[in-house]
Chain A
Amino acid sequence: MAQFRTCPDTGLYFHKSAESLIKANAVAAAVALLVAGVLGLLVVLTRWQAVHLLPADQFYMALTAHGIDALIFWIIFFEMAVLYVASSVLLRSRLATPFWGWVQFVLMLVGAIMTNWAIFQGNSSVMMTSYAPMQAAPHFYLGLILFAVGALIGCFVFFGTLVVAKQEKTYDGSIPLVTFGAVTAAIIAVFTIASGAIILVPTFFWSIGYISHIDAEMYRIVWWGMGHSSQQINVAAHVAIWYLIAGLVFGARPMSEKVSRSAYLLYILFLQLACAHHILVDPGVSAEWKVFNTSYAMYLAVLASMIHGLTVPGSIEVAQRAKGFNNGLFEWLRKAPWDNPVFSSMFISLVTFGFLGGITGVVMGTEQINLIIHNTIYVPAHFHATVVTGTTMAFMGVTFFLIPVLFRRQMILPGLAKLQPYIFGGGMTILILFMLGAGTLGVSRRHWDMDFTGAALGFDYPGMAYTLMGIGAFGGVIGVVGGAAFLLITVGSLLFGKKLEPSAGLLQSFGVPLAASCYTDERPAILPRAAAAEGHHGSSFEAPGTFVLALVLLVTFVVYYFINWKYLASVWQLS
């Protein structure tokens, strides 16, 4: 018999099994973030040439683990929690097959531990990409395969829950927009994991000697079907969280269901083609393939992101104006709750994802421009803007919301929590901006020593490159302080926060269900459709302030895009 509890503060319904799984996945994600953050600190302190902390072997080991723990384990564990929230909690449905949910969790946990173990044994410092023919220990690949199988099971528990909710009629009408965003993320995840299986399974057999040869270029194409798509899952998921937080904090409704869902449909169709961003300066792939795939078929997925970039803040503006913040273009924004970390995290995520992550991603994914950017430190600068200030901050924002609602603890250190998004977002933004600059000067990514100590033939980077790397690393240290503050607040709240009714003890914070009396066998009331919008005025702009901000983004985008063409035109002629 499915059992539910109602959150007394928000009215959200939690299915007992789903609640436990969400907690377990979120806690595992936080542990991965902790490991990734510590390693990130070691990485920035090594690339800060004046500090140059680690020796080469430890640096490459730390960098390999940092990439995998941050980009794969932290994010995908959290995304499993997001999928269960978006299906079971938001649809007021029981979770399909809780047993398989636990299989998901255990497989992913075992996989994550196994791969970390392989890396820290020291003979699998192959970077996240593990490009063949460089070879890692067999359990490095096996851990990733187990993790991926677990994630695939999680996706199907999610799809199963959608089926259950529809059959048992737990909601009226179409699924909510946030759940639709999660559907998009899960679809991209299925392609991601399929690509991962196609390449990692043979690579595993190669590492134990059953297969003699893995073609290096074939590996690159198929591996990036996983490597890049896994980050597209994040885009779909964190955009869903932007919509969710806009709804939670402001009661915002989507400006248009049709527009927002069509934008997600463009993601489903085209976003994953951008795996080609990594293959633009590879041997032997035709210009037609590159142009079509790298541009997401005429930039239709970029169009989708630009639409979300308008409709998410636009929905907030409409909601704020309805509350009377109607003066001028920006009163709605000035009067937003900037001291609420749920909102400030989300808004920093939105702005940095658009201005830093989005624009740089399109620029370096342009077929010809890529040749002045490929494998420079510009690339990690870009994806720290998308995945750290973009995805991670959106996830942090929703975590601040979940601490009282899901974990039933009051947040400790509320003063620090108000500042945390600014410390983390500010520090990481410094890191990103200065690494972008250093990349433009040709500084290489994944490189232990920009002095080339011990090289027979030398090369000297300009002094400015050292300055930029130093300032960037300083920003990275601030970012790590912000990340530590996040973990201190969240983990501290689970351990020491004031218990809220229905009370949750220590074990309950890590996935054990609350006391049996908190749950009832009664089915939740059917989730009704939203109330119809009042007075939709079609002729004038509903969100003029947002429109102006969108135009600022566009102008920045256009100017920066053509600056890079100009820069490309200055290098040696190639044909």
Chain B
Amino acid sequence: MKETSDKPEKDQEEKIPAMQTLIDNPFLLLFIGVAMPTVFYLIWGIMEIVTIPVAP
């Protein structure tokens, strides 16, 4: 396994872009990864079921 430690560090001070910050943060990802299907699949789906009218 080739490993290097003496790579140029000129990018050290540059600010990390927002998207990389997001992808590097597992807990933020955990939150959105659970929130998305909970809202769009589960909650919306259950709303559809409970609003079905009663048969005449």
Contact = CB atoms under 8 A, between A and B. Distances in A.
Q: Do any beta carbons of A and B sit within 8 angstroms of each other in the complex? A: yes
Contacts of B37: 191, 225, 229, 272-273, 275
Contacts of A273: 36-37, 40-41
Nearest to B34: A191
B13 interface: no
Interface stretch (A31-39, A263-271, A449-457): A263-271
Interface string B26-56: 1101101110111011101110110010000
Contacts of A276: 41, 45
A275 B46 CA distance: 13
A195 B29 CA distance: 18
A187 B48 contact: no
A200 interface: no
Interface stretch (A409-417, A419-427, A526-534): A526-534
Given A159-B26, A292-B40, A293-B40, A268 B32 contact: yes
Interface stretch (A281-289, A430-438, A511-519): A281-289
B28 to A, nearest CB: 10
Contact of B41 (A159, A269, A275): A275
Interface in A520-567: 528-529, 531-532
B40 A221 contact: no
A524 to B, nearest CB: 12
A150 B34 CA distance: 19
B42 A159 contact: no
A183 B32 contact: no
Contacts of A262: 19, 23
B1 interface: yes
B14 interface: no
Nearest to A274: B41
Contacts of B49: 215, 217-218, 221, 284-285
A26 interface: no
B10 interface: no
Contact of A272 (B19, B41, B48): B41
Interface residues of B, number: 30
B44 A289 contact: yes
A175 interface: yes
Nearest to B50: A218
A194 interface: yes
Interface in A132-163: 159, 162
A327 B24 CA distance: 39
A171 B24 CA distance: 13
Contacts of A292: 40
Nearest to A232: B37
Nearest to B42: A225
Nearest to B24: A174
Interface in A286-313: 286, 289, 292-293, 297
A31 B23 CA distance: 36
Given A187-B34, A268-B32, A528 B42 contact: no
B49 to A, nearest CB: 5
A234 B20 CA distance: 25
B43 to A, nearest CB: 10
A273 B37 CA distance: 6
30 contacts: A159-B27, A174-B23, A175-B24, A180-B23, A184-B29, A186-B30, A187-B29, A190-B34, A191-B33, A191-B34, A191-B37, A215-B49, A217-B49, A221-B49, A222-B46, A225-B37, A225-B42, A262-B23, A265-B29, A269-B33, A270-B36, A273-B36, A273-B41, A284-B52, A285-B45, A286-B48, A292-B40, A293-B44, A531-B2, A532-B7
Interface of B: 1-5, 7, 19-20, 22-24, 26-27, 29-30, 32-34, 36-38, 40-42, 44-46, 48-49, 52
The 8 tightest CB contacts between A and B, nearest first, are A272-B37, A187-B33, A268-B33, A284-B52, A531-B4, A221-B45, A528-B3, A285-B48
Interface of A: 10-11, 159, 162, 174-175, 180, 183-184, 186-188, 190-191, 194-195, 215, 217-218, 221-222, 225, 229, 261-262, 265, 268-270, 272-273, 275-276, 279, 283-286, 289, 292-293, 297, 528-529, 531-532
